[in-house]
Each structure stands twice: as structure tokens, then as C-alpha cells.
Amino acid sequence: MWVFTKTGFFSAVQNNQDSSLIHVRARFKGDLEKLCKAYGLDPDVKSTPENDYPFRMDFTREKWAEIMSEEARKIDYTNFKGSILADSGPVRERVYLDVWYTLKKNSIHS
């Protein structure tokens, strides 16, 4: 699952050694740290610079579901891309916009 939020960008998958855990990966360490801070958690971020996602952390399935549910409840914008510029600045907004544009350009309409 790819998750784009005002807190950051995350890739969440089942932990390959413990199916009770969700392995959350990030391109920026600060995204995981900010997420933990928002939910009162101690960040236990592992650095994996040789991997495609250089920062990783495990969450229980219950905690990850709670975080995702709360992120949905915290939606306070009518335009996500615009909220990124206001909260995270032009660099992240540009990256998110590039993803949006690539998906739009390559979408298949039925």
C-alpha cells in the first residue's frame, strides 16, 4: 500500500518474518519520525541505505490501522495537492504532483 499524507509518503507491506506486523518504509527518515511524533510513538527507524526505501519501521497491524483511520479523520482540505504546498513546501508538492500527473497521463478509462 502506498500512502500519501500530509505527514509523508509511506509504503506499507506485511513484515516478511512476522505477519502480525506491518513493515512501513519511507524515502525520508523525517516522515517516519513525524508520523511517530503525531501518534505519541517512539520512532524505531532502521536505516537501510542500500534499499529502495532507505528508512523502515514496523508497526503492529492494530496500530497501523489506528493510524490510517486517524489520518482519514484528519482530512481538513478540499484539495490534497494544495494542502501539501501549504504544509510541506514546494519540493514535496512538486514530487506529489509528478506522481499525480504520471497516473493521470497513464490512466485507462473504461
Mean pLDDT by 10 residues, the chain (110 residues): 92 98 95 96 96 97 97 92 77 84 79
pLDDT value of position 41: 97
Q: What is the pTM of this model?
A: 0.86
Scan for cell 506486523, then name that residue. 21
pLDDT value of position 110: 54
Taking the CA atoms of the chain, what radius of gyration do you get in angstroms? 15
Closest CA to 4 of 55, 71, 56, 85: 71
pLDDT value of position 105: 86
- Reported in sequence order, the residue ranges of 1-110 that DSSP labels E, i.e. its strands, are 2-4, 9-14, 21-26, 46-47, 55-60
Angle at 59 between CA 43 and CA 36, to 5 degrees: 30
